[in-house]
Structure 1
Amino acid sequence: MASAPDDQADKAVMDFDPAVCTYDRWIEKFGEAREKCPVFASEAHGGYWVAASYEHATNISRDWETFSSRKVWDPEAGKLEGGSVIPPFAGPPFVPVETDPPEWKLYRHLLNPFFGPKAVETYRTRARQVMRALVDRVIETGACDIVNDLANPLPALSTLDILGIPYDQSNWRRFSDPFHKLAYARGTAEFPQCLADLDWIRGQLAEQVERDRANPREGLFSSLCNGEVAGKAFSVPEIVGLGMMVLVGGVGTTNALFSNSCVWLSKHPEVRRKLIDNPDMLPIAREEFVRFYSPVHSAARLVTREVVVNGQRLEPGEQIMVAFSSANHDETVFENAGEIDVERFPNPHVGFGSGIHRCLGSFLARMFFETMFAEVMARMPDFLVDEERAVRYPDISTKNGWITIPATFTPGPRMGEGPTL
């Protein structure tokens, strides 16, 4: 994948900043990049590289020693380096996403049992109950916001259940909404409050650590509080960081995936009906939605040594954005890559990333998607998205999602199942 540096390599520069790019421009410019310069430099944010092709995106993701995910944040020294997003934002690293081995291996070894296929299946019943309660909140009105009423709260609340973090009717929005806003509110008047709410959540998690250590119980979070790795217990900041990582990953990915799928299915009712009538098709269709919309749009890496990629010489300390969404539209890998084919198989997409940092919650995201799809298609199968009022994220550098998706449907009865929301 990489070779010794070549001092004669010409630097490919594109007038394009993926970190502040709208959806339509992202698709257009990355198509041009894959054809002309699949590894190029952007001069925005002090300069960084971008890997646009499937080959380079996957190879870079698998070479963690050369392309590090580690984030260093020292507010007292004013140091902020690395991490998974460009430009990086001040705050503690998300663990284990923004770590490398050996630390990464210790964290993943502890977390993996809670996110494997068998474990995820045990969460399905509770997720279905939560989803039914969310639909109950809107079903009698004949109108909803697919993002804020369904796609964002379901993974947020279900992930709280998996962690064993209590919530109720008075505060569940305060737990769920900041993770949605984190994806689109940066640079807006909403962002300071978003950061304040995230600090509140960290405080709630820290308080829960003390309770779980005094009175251990079932659940992932309590296991973290009372567990050890290599004979060493986790510190409170480490446990809080792990809890925040699980919440961020659980909410954003599924929210973006389901929201985009609903917009497309609203415009293709014949495919929607086909999936409703043939539920066995859903897993294949789901993977195609993951490929096409790539909920994890990109991830940043920090170059640790001089290296040449596709003729471009990268220096230590430079950042490179791995554009998974562009890789998933690579015409050399996917036939008719610019179209959704709900019967596409095989489908070697990298919609959940690649390499050691492949999304820990990919099986969980799939289960959440299936749960939301089943409930929406059963109780509001004729939903119609109001595209004129729907609003995308202003940029899609990390998550390809929507701020709001108003929709209407034929009203129905409440089921009265699940938590009171």
Structure 2
Amino acid sequence: MTREEPAAPSRVDLADPGIFERDAARHLFAQLRQEHPIWWNPGTDGRGFWSVLRYRDIVAVSKNPRLFSSARHQGGHRIHDEVDAEITQGLEASMLSMDPPEHNTHRGMVAPAFTPERIRGLEARIRARVTSLLDRIAHQGECEFVSSVAAELPIQVIAELLGVPQEDRLRLFEWSNALIGEDDPDMRKSAGHIRQCSKDMGIYALKLWRERLRRPGDDLVSMLAGTEIDGEVMSIPRYFATFFLLVIAGNESVRNSISGGLLALSQHPAQRRRLIEEPTLIPLAAKEIIRWVSPFLHMRRTATEDTVLSGQPIAKGDKVVLWYISGNFDEEVFEHPERFDVARSGVPHLGFGQGQHYCLGWRLAELQLTVLFQELLRRFPDMEPCGQVRRVRSNFVNGIKELPVRFTPER
């Protein structure tokens, strides 16, 4: 098929991490949705891709893995996964880089850890962790919010789920940052540093695996070590990929939603007041925060054959990038999407993806956000930024590295 590229704005490369570091994407995506909802992004490095910007098209691609593959051998699930091929050499593909039926088999192995009953059973322990974190800052009147609260809660929770000693959580945090940090020099110091973090994380994961084989417990590692696929136990390489995914996904999505949510509430004081006056809205607000933040900016697919999407011909082998941050602000689907509305309901956001790759941990993420903001708004209703907000330099995660805040201290 000959690619028929629509006319498009010049000098725009959506793979440029600087767009997201500057928090400049929403206006750009709004323009593109109207003019070029499926747009060929030529890229500055010769690796072009189709940008899918409307909600309905993102859903259509997400629900058709036969035509639009996530598999590593097709190129992976991020825009430039090929760039990291050397770094990730030897690692098995995670569930994010699988298609059915393989994906369904491995998803089924992990799903029992995220049932509604199991997640509800974590609420008291999550609330205790939130209370402890807020107690630490209660008398200070100011703090750096990401390191003190937003990053701490999810890494503590995922460490508990994995059965990892809490004193080791910061190692998980460093490894996760290195593997997901994309173009951010504070997270990805060098290719050698990333390879070393991957190696260290693998060694650590293998130690846990061996311990659970001897003394299984009620944790995710024990569950993975005891799981069988077609009568065979999970392979060590596949376990590594699953362990890495659980740590990274469990850490990044919640951390970035918490920090982005606090920033959004500060920028929309009327919505914050409404939550303070009507705390029963906080579970709804958690969903709106995830829509607003879109903690994972995109996922990528690869066309397995010549096809057409909403009238746009797409050639076999073309990259197809699903921009969740665009679909979450689609005017065709969301009423006044530019408004941050803590009582918004109706059409589900795309922050957890769609189709077969819908996030397994969505209930856990929403629970952490709900409990955190219940306690934070009750104790520190006037918490607000008081310095420069530093964002992660990445086209994959919508993250905040530093968020200094001030508040009325507790006596």
Q: CA deviation at 1:36?
A: 1.2
Structure 2 residue 135 is matched with structure 1 residue 139: no
Q: Which residue of 2 aligns with 1:63?
A: 64
- For the residues of structure 1 that align with 2:299 and 2:261, how far apart are their CA atoms? 22
Residue identity in the other structure for 1:290: I
Alignment of 1:371-386 (within 5 A): 371-386=371-386
Instruction: Go from structure 1 to structure 2 and tell me whether the alpha carbon gap of 1:177 and 1:372 turns closer, same or farther (over 3 Å shift).
Output: farther
Structure 1 match to 2:75: 82
Shift of 1:253: 0.9
Equivalence map 1:50-199=2 (5 Å): 50-72=51-73, 82-88=75-81, 89-90=84-85, 91=88, 92=91, 95-168=94-167, 171-180=168-177, 182-184=179-181, 186=183, 188=185, 190-191=187-188, 192=190, 193=193, 195-199=195-199
Match of 2:50, SS state, is strand
Note if 1:17 corresponds to 2:22. no
Q: Flag the 1:109–1:303 CA change in 2: closer, same or farther, 3 A.
A: same
Relative to structure 1, the CA distance from residue 241 to residue 35 in structure 2 (aligned partners, 3 Å threshold; closer, same or farther) is same
Distance (whole Å) between structure 2 residues aligned to residue 70 and residue 8 of structure 1? 23
**Normalising by the residue count of structure 2, what TM-score does the alignment of the two structures yield?**
0.90
RMSD: 2.1
Q: Residue deviations 1:322-366, cap 9 Å, x none?
A: 011111111111121111122222133212111100111111110
Secondary structure of the structure 2 residue equivalent to 1:137: helix
Change in 2 beyond 3 A, CA 1:363/1:240: same
State the alpha-carbon separation in 1 of the partners of residues 325 and 174 from structure 2.
Answer: 25
Distance 1:236 1:287, change over 3 A: same
State TM-score, norm by structure 1.
0.88
Task: Give matches, 1:269-418, under 5 Å.
Answer: 269-386=269-386, 388-395=387-394, 397-412=395-410
Say if 2:43 is the partner of 1:47.
Answer: no
- Distance change (3 Å), C-alpha of 1:94 and 1:278: farther
Q: Which shows bigger deviation, 153-162 or 269-278? A: 269-278
**C-alpha distance 160-30 of structure 1, shift in aligned 2 (>3 A):** same
* Secondary structure of 1:18's aligned partner: coil
Cα distance change of structure 1 residues 373 and 8 upon mapping to structure 2, 3 Å threshold: closer
Partner AA of 1:246 in structure 2: L
Does the 8 Å CA contact 1:127/1:158 hold for their aligned counterparts? Answer: yes
* Deviation, structure 1 residue 11: 4.2
Residues 276-326 of structure 1, C-alpha deviations (whole Å, 9 max, x = no match):
231211122222222222122210111111112233322222211101111
Structure 1 pair 64–256 and aligned structure 2 pair: CA distance change class (3 A): same
Offset at residue 251 of structure 1 (A): 1.0
Distance 1:64 1:284 in 2: 30
Identity %: 27
Task: State the shift of 1:210 in Å.
Answer: 0.7
Structure 1 residue 164, shift from structure 2 partner: 1.6
The farther-off stretch of 291-300 and 122-131 is: 122-131
1:181 to partner: Cα distance: 5.3
Alignment-mate amino acid for residue 399 of structure 2:
G
Look up the SS of the partner of 2:51 in the other structure. Answer: strand
Give the direction of change, closer, same or farther, for the CA distance of 1:269–1:8 in structure 2 (3 Å limit).
closer
Q: Is 19-28 or 260-269 further displaced after alignment?
A: 19-28
Amino acid at match of 2:313: R
Select between 186-195 and 237-246 the one with higher mean Cα deviation: 186-195
**Cα distance in 2 between the residues matched to 1:63 and 1:308:** 13
Contact 1:114 1:220 in 2 (8 A): yes
Task: Using the TM superposition, give the Cα deviation of residue 94 of structure 1 relative to its aligned residue in structure 2, in angstroms.
Answer: 5.0
Displacement of 1:180 in angstroms is 4.0
Paired AA for residue 95 in structure 1: S
Following TM superposition, by how much is the alpha carbon of 1:182 offset from its aligned partner in structure 2, in angstroms?
A: 4.5
Q: Which range is displaced more, 355-364 or 260-269? A: 260-269
Q: Matched residue pairs, number?
A: 396
Structure 2 distance, partners of 1:152, 1:410, is 22
- Structure 1 residue 194: deviation in Å? 5.1
Contact 2:178 2:197 in 1 (8 A): no
Give the aligned partner of residue 76 of structure 1: none
How has the CA–CA distance of structure 1 residues 60 and 373 changed in structure 2, closer, same or farther, with 3 Å as cutoff? same
**Aligned to 2:213, what secondary structure does the other structure show?**
helix
- Report the more deviating stretch, 34-43 or 368-377: 368-377
- 1:162-207 C-alpha deviation (Å, 9 max, x unpaired): 1222232xx3322224424544453526413355334322221111
CA contact (8 A) 2:5 2:39 kept: no
> Unpaired segments of 5 or more residues in structure 2?
none
Measure the CA separation in 2 of the matches of 1:375 and 1:323.
32
Distance 1:371 1:201, change over 3 A: farther
Q: Report SS of the residue matched to 1:400.
A: coil
Aligned 8 A contact 1:287 1:347 in 2 = no
Gap runs ≥5 in structure 1: 73-80, 414-421
**For the residues of structure 2 that align with 1:261 and 1:187, how far apart are their CA atoms?**
22
